[in-house]
Structure 1
Amino acid sequence: MPPRLAVPAAGMTRRQFGRFAALGLATGAGMIATVAPATAQTAADYYAQARELAGDNPVLLALIAALTKGYSPPRPAAPAPQKIFDDLAVLSVGSVSCLAILTSGGIVLIDALNSAAEAESVIAGGLSSLGADPATIKYVVVTHGHGDHYGGAQYLAGRYGARVLMAPADWNLIAGVPGAPARDLDITNGQRLTLGATTIQLCYTPGHTPGTVSPIFPVTWEGTRHMAMSWGGTNPPAALVSLRTYLTSVLSFRNRTRRAGVDVEVSTHPFVDYGLERMQQLRTQPRGANPFVLGQAGMDTYMAVMEAMLRGRLADAAGTTAAAAEAVAGDSCC
């Protein structure tokens, strides 16, 4: 019989979600959800554990769906540009978004959408509509080398002089690809990028691509400081070795989020985390509990769901029990 997890006392309904968002996904102060090491545990067991952790919470259910083999991403309509924190804006075409971190020294973008046209209309135009000057874009952090994340980067570099950052492995991945930005700055693992009074930590989380990067950065809401994260690349790879790399990245990044006190999650693919719906909630209820604030225990539950789903995917790919999934670099972290 597989070992059980530490599970939130109850899942939240969508109606309850707004009221409890600031308290975190896991009910009970300090509760930490974890996927316990196991022998002879099947992929189905891990998937069941992920669902048990999720309860009926729409954020976690969306994450489970996105990590399920064969998932087909939706193509939702583009939302209006929106600040989801005092210093964080979402500029989106619906299926993929750019995050704009607004600092005292200028703007740092996380990703750059699909194309120069979207960078001009959605990113620059969206910033202007929110009262931010796109001419102050200083950096574009590209989380990984796929065109829907780097497509507008070269336009932003040429138009505003923004510096473009990517991990070396993914600079190599896109070398010579039409529409890719010219190689600029390399991201090193754990690098701290400071602009104005804001410091962003850039963490290697390979697996989705060889050079996927996930940022951790501060945000404020109604005068309260929080720490946010954005997982750099969601869709798990098919190859067994890449799945092992991905799971190791989840374990490593989970420890980083714990140490940094991360309590906010936001994705550049909003279908992964119920993001568009949470944006709509903020539009209709602009004050009070921010639904992107999961709490530190809730954030750990989010990462635990990722871990369970990846262990299941790995066990599936290995065609064996989770004893194989457990042998992932000794579960070494960071």
Structure 2
Amino acid sequence: MTFEQSGMSRRALLAAAALLPLPVGRAEASAAAPPSAKAYYDRAARLAGHDPVLRQLVKGLSPGAQMPTVQAPKPLRIFDNVAVVSTGFVSATALLTSQGVILIDALESPDQAEKIIVPQLRSLGADPSAIKYVVVAHAHSDHFGGAQYLADRYGARVMMSPADWALVARDSSPHVPKRDLDIAHGQRLTLGDSTITFHHTPGHTPGTVSPIFPVRWKGRRHTAMLWGGTNPPAATAEKRTYVSSVLAFAAAMRRAGVDVELMNHGMSDNGLVRMEELRAAPAGRANPFVLGSARAQRFMQVMEIMLRGRIATDEAAGTTARPAAMTASSSPACC
């Protein structure tokens, strides 16, 4: 049966083949060893090719990767209905609807909420008093730090997954928000003309959430995802959970027709660079956050392969034991 007869495109077959173990000698095929960590990392690099977004993802997921210190960008509407405010290290993403704002993440502190989120949203024509929901993508202080300030000042409801509400309850940060609304897997939240769908993607933390939501660029509709937490956890078992999350979310992306990729740490996916590209030529080129559905799927494939490499690195080093009980402050910081 040909690939046309099977209903699979050549591109789909090639993508599937990229995830198969690397070839070995025929005599050894029946007892082939699993790919080495380097084989996974090399495969991810080949799949990324010259794509700057995917190459940055490979870099960010490599062992020992460190996030550099960068200057905070000026705020920007990256879509007609999406605004981003950022410290450079971490960003908050505002979905602007006809009846208010859904804010994804709240930076690191009440001070940053007051001095960055509030005035910068105003500078983009968005009213911070219209923030109805603060969605905390995961329970690290650089994402929940300003949430309680926004709840107290504007009456915003704070949302987090149950697993991460439990995690943040053990955090020593003075900025932990009061427990408010739980986010269920598959939950849909509608505000005005927009509906956002939440997916539990555990891995970075036990309750990381990644949303899918509609965006518009020059009046044309697209569908965006925002990956909720990138840096792999320490424990190998949790890295395997992360791989499962990547596979499940990639399938959800296909079903939803996702063609836009976003992250809350713009250094991990070249997001800060793309902001400046868009700012420099807002009317003269395609929006660099619109990857197209095939490239968005390739983004997830690169992430999966890099995580499998990180698991192989653990196994080669004999470091697969689960660490002591995790707290929000002791789990892998940021990203």
For Structure 1 versus Structure 2, the TM-score category normalised by the shorter chain is 0.7 to 0.9
Q: Distance in 2 between matches of 1:247 and 1:282?
A: 32
| Residue 306 of structure 1: aligned partner | 303
Bigger relative contact order, structure 1 or 2, given CA contacts below 8 A and separation 6+? 1
Cα pair 1:104 1:197 within 8 Å, conserved: yes
Structure 2 vs 1, CA of residues 155 and 60 (structure 1 numbering), >3 Å: closer, same or farther? same
Deviations 1:231-269 (A, max 9, x none): 110000121111111111111111111111000011110
Q: Does 1:278 find its partner at 2:260?
A: no
1:53 aligns to what? 47
1:144 maps to which residue? Answer: 138
Q: Give the distance between the partners of 2:13 and 2:189, measured in 1 at CA.
A: 32
Matching residue within 27, 33, 36 for 2:15: 33
Describe the superposition over 1:146-205 as per-residue Cα deviations: whole angstroms up to 9, x where unpaired.
Answer: 000000000000000000000011111111532100000000011111101101011000
In 1: Cα distance, 2:82 partner to 2:131 partner: 13
Deviates more, 1:31-40 or 1:56-65: 31-40
Larger radius of gyration: 2
Deviations 1:255-290 (A, max 9, x none): 111111000011110000111111111111101300
SS of 2:310's partner is: helix
Gaps of 5+ in 1: 1-27, 321-334
The answer for unaligned runs of 5 or more in structure 2 is: 1-9, 22-31, 318-335
What is the identity percentage for the equivalent residue pairs of Structure 1 and Structure 2? 57
Contact 1:32 1:297 in 2 (8 A): no
> Which residue of 2 is the match for residue 3 of structure 1?
none
Assess if the C-alpha contact under 8 Å between 1:32 and 1:300 holds in 2.
no
Q: Give TM-score scaled by structure 2 length.
A: 0.85
Is 1:292 the counterpart of 2:289 in the alignment? yes
Matched, 1:163 2:157: yes
Which of 247, 253, 261 is the aligned partner of 2:249? 253
Partner of 1:224: 220
Question: What is the rounded CA distance, in whole Å, between the counterparts of 2:97 and 2:311 in structure 1?
Answer: 40
- The residue identity in structure 1 corresponding to 2:15 is A
Q: Which amino acid aligns with 1:53?
A: L
Amino acid at match of 1:254: A
Match of 1:191 in 2: 187
Q: TM-score, normalised by structure 1?
A: 0.85
| 1:29 Cα offset (Å) | 8.2
Q: Distance in 1 between matches of 2:14 and 2:182?
A: 35
1:319: how far off?
2.2
Q: Secondary structure of 1:132's partner? A: coil
Q: 1:95 aligned to 2:89?
A: yes
Mapped contact 1:143–1:212 kept (Cα < 8 A): yes
Pairwise CA distance, 1:30: 7.8
- 1:237 equivalent in structure 2: 233
SS in 2 for 1:109: strand
CA RMSD of aligned residues (A): 1.7
